[in-house]
Structures are given as C-alpha cells and as structure tokens.
Structure 1
Amino acid sequence: MNAVKKGKIRKAADFLQELSKKFRFRLRTYRPNVTISLDSRKYLVKTVENGDELGDVLRLRHEVFYRELLEKKRFRGKDVDKYDFQFDHLVVIDKEAGQIIGTYRLNSSLFSDKFYSCSEFKMDNIVSLPGVKLELGRACIHPDYRSGATIAALWKGLGTYISETATDCLFGCSSVKTTDNLTIALVHYYLEKNFLAPEELRAMPKAKFRTDKYHKMLDMIQEKRFAPFREAAENLVPPLMLSYFKAGGVICGEPAYDKAFKCYDYLTYLDIKTMDESFRKKFTEKKNEEVCC
C-alpha cells in the first residue's frame, strides 16, 4: 500500500473518530423542548427525555429506513441528521416489550426557524404564515406494530403536543415508498383530484428534487382501460398519510423525488382550525383520559 493511500485511510479514520465524538457529545447533552407523557395499560406515549431514548429512536429509524427499505446499513447503525438534536421526538413504547415501536420527529416554530421540508421544497409562503407551525417528519413504525392502534397512539401524543404548544398548523414531508412511475402516477392522480391545496398554499420541489418521469404515465392512466386502477389508487397511499387527509390535510402540489431514500415526498399541510371535527376533538382537546388501545 503506497503512502498516498495510507494517508487517505488515516484521514478517513480520523474524520470518523471526530464525528463519533461529536455525535456522542450531542447525544449525551440532548434535552427536549416540550415534555409530555400519556400512560395506558398497553402503551406509554411520550417525548424522549435524554440521549439514551433518542439513541433508541435513531436505531429504530435505521432499521426501518435503511435495513428494511433500502436494504443497507449506515454508519453507526443509526438514522441521524443535524436536525435530530434540535427537535423533539414523540415515541410510542410497548410497555410489556419495553421497546419503542413508533416515532415522530416534531419541530415547532416556537423553538426553531429551520425546517427540514425547506431542503426539498420552495415554501416561503408556508413558512411565513402567522401563528405557531409544527413540522412533522421521520414518521416510523416498527414492522410488527403497523396497525391502527399504533397510529392512534401516535396521534394521541401529537394532539397533546399540539395543545401544549398552541399549534395553528401542521406540515411536513409525507413519503410514498416507491420508484415505480405507474404507482406514483396513480397516487398523484388520486391525491391531486381529492386533496389539492388552494393556490396560496402551493409549493414546488427544488430543482434537485424535481422530476417529471411519471408525467407520461399520468396522461396514460386517463384512458378507460385504467379506470379500475384509478378507482383503487387510494389503496396505494400509506395509512399514516391517509390519516392526514381524513383529518382535513392537503398536498401542496407535485411531489419531490428523494433519490437517497428512493421515495416520493409530498409536502402536506393541515390547518388546525379547519381540521375535521371528529379528529380535532379526539386529538387537540385536553382530556383526563388514558391513551386509547
């Protein structure tokens, strides 16, 4: 091995060691902006309170986003970025198993003016809206717990967080895990027809995330022979994403194509004031009751 190659390897090792030190420090000093805790017979729903709990969240996300969806492993076995140490993390814990089974990353404009969604979308019109805004991201559920019960528990915790922060609107990137042009064309046809935001809430993907690969498919699926597929398109929308629309959420336009995660991200928006009444009562009113399920 020549000296140049050895030097590059040594520099890479030094970089990884320094990165690891910084990561451990930020993990050790992590504290939440808002602390909530809802207990029930089966689940504990809370915001993570320390680095140990945050580490468990990052490992769960790695297992789902990298090992399951991308079939690869990332450095340290954790899905982590610069936002994780600034934002809150809502989790659902299976009390019997003693493990985190679901999580949401929560970014309130009360504590930060930096939003992950802005890395993918031109959305100054949304960021500049009055009131408290809450960005949702990195939604993740353990494969053994992907049910309505887990989603309901996450929403219950989210409702408490909304109340604690007096949030006016929610937004965030909602992912459709596919690279198939026909699939995303059918999903987009269904969402655009039923849940498109008004013009003042539209946002465009940034150049790096823009694609028109599925546009030809959009024209093709208008044909009569595709009618059964168009009618069944709702079944292609992820359950958690569907719950946003049932609550009154909308998409802000065309999706961004995330090459790294091999998925399409829709910027979704939900105004608390116009939220579906049944959802608003269930998730935004403070009640002295246990978490469902």
Structure 2
Amino acid sequence: MLDLNRLPGHAPRNKLGFSLARTAAEVQEAQRIRFKVFAEEMGAKLPSAALGMDIDRFDSFCDHLLVRDNENDKVVGTYRMLPPEQAVNAGGYYSETEFDMTRLVHLRNRMVEVGRSCVHPDYRDGATITQLWSGLADYIGKNGHEYLIGCASISMGDGGHYAASVYDKVHKLHSAPAEYSVFPHCPLPLHALNRNLDVSVPPLIKGYLRLGAYIAGQPAWDPDFNTADLFILLPVSRMNPRYAKHFMRQPS
C-alpha cells in the first residue's frame, strides 16, 4: 500500500538519509511506522495489529528501504522492494494477490516490485519524498532491474467515487499496451460510481506517471486497507530523464 498521497507543508529537513534495513530490528522499525500510518491513521485491518506492526508473509523476502532523521535516529519513511529472485521464493509478487499478471510472465525475471510505502505524518514534505525516490533509484541502478511494478493506492473514504474519477482521469493517457495488461481479482465497481468528479491526481501516482509509468489495468479494491489500487508498470528504459532528475536527485 502506498501512502505518499497527502503531503501537507512542513519545513524541509536537511538531515535525512536513506539506507536498507540490515537487521531484524531495522525491519521492525519499518513495520511499526507502516502500522502507525496504515492502521492507526487509515484504519486498515491488519492481522498483526496486536503486535503494533504491519507484518505480512512477503516481508521476509523483501529489501526494506528506510529514511531516517539523523538528528533523532527515527525512521520517518519506508518502501519495500521484492526483487525477482525473491519473488520466486515467496511464491509470487504481492501484486498477484490483487491482479492476474499472466501477460507479464515474460518480464518476471526483470521486474522489481515496490510497495508498502509510507511517511510519518510529521515528515510529509519534499525532502522525505526525495530521499525515498533517491533510495529507490539507487537500489534499481545497483541491481539492474528493468521494470518497476507495484500497487498505487487511492483512498476510498468517500465510497470510491474519488478513486474512480482519478482512474478515469489518468488511464486514457497512460494505459499500458494491451500485451502488458493486468486484470483485478476484485475490481472496483466503476459502473456504480461517479467517475466525473473534478479531482487532483495523488502526488505519488502523478510522480510515477511523469517518470513514464503505465496504468496497466482497471483498479482493484483492497477491502482490508479500504483502498482502490492501480497497477503501475514502469519500464526503466522509458523513464523520462527530466522528471527522473527531479524526483530521484540526491539532495544537496
């Protein structure tokens, strides 16, 4: 689940840094901030709620990107990445729990999946987002992944009308070629929703699209998180250099 969509203004922070989690304790730091955002803030129903952490079966196969405030050593943002060799060990990608990805089978050994992205409420500013993008770019570059995939979530707090309107706004210009299409297991009922609202595209999704990502199918409904999830497919070779420089630059 991705929750970089609400970014109220805060003062920039110049003492943030990113790294990959190297210990079980660092992975738990990521799982705690995910719980804070997804369960406490967004109301997600998590089976690991009693532990105060967001834990699922994919975590042990993923690399976990941490953004840390070096002044207080606090983890303030996270992404997790599931590389192709570990997706095999995990029995598939997380996205396959929401989408039929049969048409992407020929890309499997070149795809890295990103997800479970979130930022602490006090750090939702450009500096934190830049660190997350920079860490992700560093990871992709070092590992030579050719395709980035993931589920980008949209709140369904209004029953789904906002999500349906966002989908209608973006899919016509950014739909994937038919051979890259995926199909939701639990589709958002677009026919029953108002798809004509005047909406702003969530910042994270807008960022993916500016980089050159495709929307590869209709949105899926995730009842546990009460979100509509768009399947994002970003061929690294298609990445827009102008926006890649902006979104994935290293902060000075």
* Corresponding residue SS for 2:229: strand
Query: Residue 44 and residue 211 in structure 1: after superposition, are their counterparts in 2 closer, same or farther (change >3 A)?
Result: closer
Distance 1:133 1:125 in 2: 13
Provide closer, same or farther for how the CA distance between residues 164 and 75 of structure 1 changes in structure 2, counting only shifts above 3 A.
same
Q: Classify the secondary structure of the residue corresponding to 1:103.
A: strand
Counterpart residue number, 2:103: 125
The whole-number CA distance in structure 2 between the counterparts of 1:119 and 1:72 is 16
Q: 2:73 aligns to what?
A: 98
Match of 2:40 among 67, 70, 89: 67
- Please report the TM-score for the alignment, with normalisation by the length of structure 2: 0.86
Give the drift of 1:283. 7.2
1:217 is matched with 193
Deviations 1:256-292 (A, max 9, x none): 10011111011111000011012445678xxxxx931
Match of 1:12 in 2: none
**1:185-237 deviations in Å (ceiling 9; x for gaps):** 2111111122211111111111xx2231x324356x3xxxxxxx43xx2x2x3
Residue in 1 that maps onto 2:118: 140
CA contact (8 A) 2:18 2:67 kept: yes
Map 1:1-293 → 2, pairs under 5 A = 42-70=15-43, 74-113=49-88, 114-129=92-107, 132-179=110-157, 180-206=159-185, 209-212=186-189, 214-218=190-194, 221=196, 229-230=197-198, 233=199, 235=200, 237-281=201-245, 291-292=250-251
User: 2:14·2:127 contact (CA, 8 Å) conserved in 1?
Assistant: no
What is the CA–CA distance in structure 1 between the aligned matches of 2:220 and 2:28, rounded to whole Å?
Answer: 28
- In 2, the alpha carbon distance for the partners of 1:82 and 1:181 equals 28
Does the CA contact (< 8 Å) of 1:159 and 1:283 recur in 2? no
Show CA shifts across 1:9-43 (max 9, x none).
xxxxxxxxxxxxxxxxxxxxxxxxxxxxxxx9511
More helix by share: 1
Residue 118 of structure 1: how far off its partner (Å): 0.5
* Alpha-carbon distance in structure 1 between the residues aligned to 2:250 and 2:72: 17
* TM-score (normalised: structure 1): 0.74
Where in structure 2 are there 5+ consecutive unaligned residues? Answer: 1-12
1:102 alignment partner, SS class: strand
Structure having the higher Rg: 1
Structure 1: state its 5+ residue gaps: 1-39, 222-228, 285-289
Distance of 2:171 and 2:87 partners within structure 1: 31
Aligned AA for 2:23?
A: N
Alpha-carbon RMSD across the aligned residues, in angstroms, is 2.2
Contact 1:151–1:240 (8 Å) recurs in 2: no
Contact 1:110 1:132 in 2 (8 A): no
Percent identical among aligned pairs is 33
Matched pairs, number:
234
Supply the distance in 2 between the matched residues of 1:140 and 1:88 (Cα, whole angstroms). Answer: 15
Once the two structures are TM-superposed, the CA of residue 128 in structure 1 deviates from its matched residue by 2.5
SS at match of 2:161: helix
Deviation at 1:242, TM superposition (A): 1.5
Task: Please report how far the alpha carbon of residue 250 of structure 1 lies from its aligned counterpart in structure 2 after TM superposition.
Answer: 1.4
Shift of 1:151: 1.1
Offset at residue 150 of structure 1 (A)? 1.1
User: 2:10 matched to which residue of 1?
Assistant: none
